[in-house]
Amino acid sequence: MFKPIRLVKKVPNLDFFRFHKLCFALSALLCLGSVVSLATQGLNFGVDFAGGILIEVRSPGPANLGDMRSKIGELNLGDVALQEFGASNDVLIRIERQDGGEQAEMAAVGAVRQALGTGYEYRRVEVVGPKVGAELVTGGILAVTLSLAGIMGYMALRFGWRAGLSGVVAILHDCLTTVGFFSVTQLQFDLNVLAAVVTIAGFSINDTVVIDDRIRENLRKYKVMPFRQLINRSINETMARTVVTNGLVFLAVFALLILGGQVLFGFAVAMTWGVVLGTYSTIYVAAPMEWYLAGRDTGNAHRHEDEAPAAAKP
């Protein structure tokens, strides 16, 4: 029989609490920067949310963006953005929402076709009205809110309210800083990125649940161990799983970032950022916060067994 491959051959003995105050300060700075950026410059919403026209065209040869921009600019359609989309002959054209409803939007598409002339292949045309964009924004916020509420309820029922609260704070940290990253860099925020934010919430809580489950087991095994030492031991014992699982996810999303093309670029950026921040927040935000909520090292670890009633049973 084949022996299992172990990247971490023995349980490490790292003190993850050593720099937890510095990490709290770093997290607070990241969250504050995200809030300030969102309040001052907001997000660069894609057509999905802002409304408007999105046209993907393929030219017969390498695209002359200057010439195309000049021709479309003469139409006076408002804000127009052109960019290469993957290959040098693929171009993505974004036009701001037109006054006059659907008829005005379709008239603008026809005008663009006429201005560019023949020889172009129109691979995709999307028209999103302001009402649809507003509904998508509202639905996206509601989806994230409900997912956080559900996760907190599950964590509170299974591991206690302290674990539930610390886990949700870590998720909020990851989601807020991810959205803040897109605000600071002004990368386009569309439905793909929103899907990545919701995915990051699930990914972040996954590590937290594994560590909290190990904490619950260790509460029964080490009844007199200080709670800080018990949490630290639990993180070390799950380190092999964290390295393998999170490392493989990181390799997958990094491959999407490099090779996925323009369509998946925003999603890949958000997921790459989220995997790194999700791993960090589980260890340096959720775990220390649970220790603080438990009153730090006041008494022995077994006094916290009310957090995990299932662990008290043999």
pLDDT tens per residue, range 51-71: 778 888 888 888 888 888 888
Q: Is 66 helix (H, G, I), strand (E, B) or coil?
A: helix
pTM: predicted TM-score of the whole model, two decimal places: 0.74
Backbone angles phi, psi at 45, to 5 degrees: -65, 140
Work out the angle at residue 173's Cα, subtended by the Cα atoms of residues 196 and 185, and round it to the nearest 5 degrees: 60
Contact between 41 and 183 (Cβ < 8 Å)? yes
Q: What is the DSSP string of 91-155?
A: EEEEEPPPTTHHHHHHHHHHHHHHHH-TT-EEEEEEEE-HHHHHHHHHHHHHHHHHHHHHHHHHH
Is the predicted pLDDT of residue 234 greater than 60, yes or no? yes
Distances, alpha carbon 9 to alpha carbons 73, 217, 240, in Å: 62, 21, 8
Q: Is 58 helix (H, G, I), strand (E, B) or coil?
A: strand
Backbone angles phi, psi at 32, to 5 degrees: -65, -45
Q: How many CA atoms are closer than 13 Å to the CA of 166, on its beta-carbon side?
A: 26
DSSP class of residue 62 equals S
Architecture, CATH, for domain 52-128: 2-Layer Sandwich (3.30)
239-284 pLDDT, tens digit each: 888 888 888 889 999 998 888 776 788 889 999 999 999 889 988 9
Architecture, CATH, for domain 20-45+132-312: Up-down Bundle (1.20)
Mean pLDDT of 233-239: 88
Give residue limits of the domains in the chain: 20-45+132-312, 52-128
* CA–CA distance, 222 with 218 (Å, rounded to integer): 6
The length of the chain is 314
